[in-house]
Structure 1
Amino acid sequence: MSCKVIIMGAGGRMGGTLVRLARAGGDFELAGVVERPDRLGEVQSLGYPAAGNLDALLPQAPGAVIIDFTAPEASVDMARTAKRHGNPAVIGTTGLTPEQQEELRSIARDVPLFWSPNMSVGVNVLLKVLPELARMLGPAYDLEMFEVHHNRKKDAPSGTAIKLAQCLAEARGWDYDKVRNYGREGIIGARPVEEIGVQTLRGGDVVGEHTVFFFGPGERVEVTHRAHSRDTFAQGALRAAKWLAGQKPGRLYGMADMF
């Protein structure tokens, strides 16, 4: 049985990728697309129900899973609309504030909701592996990270970098907000033992790259994940949509739940 999906921001880079893969895969039925009114003409030619407002589209697609990779406030507003209509929703947007994340958790009590800052299978395997690596190497190894993305990415550090760093902090028993360091400049003194540096690079059309460093005595261990295509994230989101269609509300789901 095919899974009905609605794509938010269908004229954008991620939205366009989602539309292409949903149309190509036999497991999905594209129930509609949403784009800003000033860009609606770009997606109306796709031949699917199109609207500049999600409220206008959902009555035509009961039960369809909404997929959203737009922007923090837009994604939260989408979740509010999904709740009003009872539609499940998958969110891959990064840069959400703690308050916005908390609102999603509240909405998830009433409608199936899934959020992950990275839909890549490889990255989510790293979230399982890195804490064990940190524990096995021990406190003599300093933890650092850098992330690289395209020059149009708006948030920094990336949501994926933050998630990876948070899992490392948890493995060490540290409060992430107290040990994170997003930039160094000037005479700052010796590096504290309890610190995780997360540095940001932006340029070109890089889809996404994250490297975690374990700097130890006489050696270092590096773990790198590189996304070669947005298809990686889109495929993960579609997989999440199909999984979420069979779930009940109650809490905010993530990739770990699906695995």
Structure 2
Amino acid sequence: MGKTGRQRTLILRDIEEVGKQLAEGELDQATADRLIDRYRQELRSLESSNPPEMTDHTEEEPSRTAPSGRRRAGTLLLIGVVVIVAITALLSVRPREDGFITGGPSAPVDLSEVTNDQMEAVIAANPDIPEISAMQLALADRYFEEGSFSEALPHYLDALEGTLDPLRRARGLARVGWMSYLSGNVNLALTYLQGAQAMDPGYTETNLFLGFLLLEQSDFEGAVEQLTPLLEDEVLPDDIRGAVEAAIRSAEESLGSEA
């Protein structure tokens, strides 16, 4: 990871820590909003000077208005915490994959028996092996699902530069998109999420993330379009279903008031 990547990781870690402290009641809303606003300004300044490279599977989208007001910054982080908990619940009833990474048919590795530190060591020692991208993604998923976004992001970006099947690539794109949104970069978030949707139109997380993003951007029709299909999922956990239903109601009420 270069200097810019390290700086981006440190800023994301700061934002992540403020979000956790806010959720746990260690910071008041005003202090959290002030800190988040400062960190987001630093991140925007860094990314305007050194924009992250996009994969060939996404295209830039037209600019949309970023969330306004400091109060919304704290709200977004709390939404992020709720969604991550919900995603973990979703994966517990519907695994992403069989849990094995293989460099060949004769050498499967059960990642459930491998620690994060061991995976970090293997990845660092084998950066040029094509199959390492799947392990990078698996490690990034672990960090993402525990809310450690600053650790997850560089592994997702590295994995997306390598060889991944469409399902894994869609997951990586969607999650980088969500983290980009939480860090305040709406345009980049939309680019990644729309890339994920193009890669796998039925991927649940993309609908979930994009639906919440569009709702916060006051694109109520778009939010309803993304979120409504999730209610047809019979194994959708109750906490996700409740959040989705509430979001749809909010969007529909807003549409009604505009009529």
Larger radius of gyration: 1
Please, what TM-score do these two structures have when normalized by structure 1?
A: 0.28
Please, what TM-score do these two structures have when normalized by structure 2?
A: 0.28
- RCO higher in structure (CA 8 A, sep ≥6): 1
More helix by share: 2
More strand by share: 1
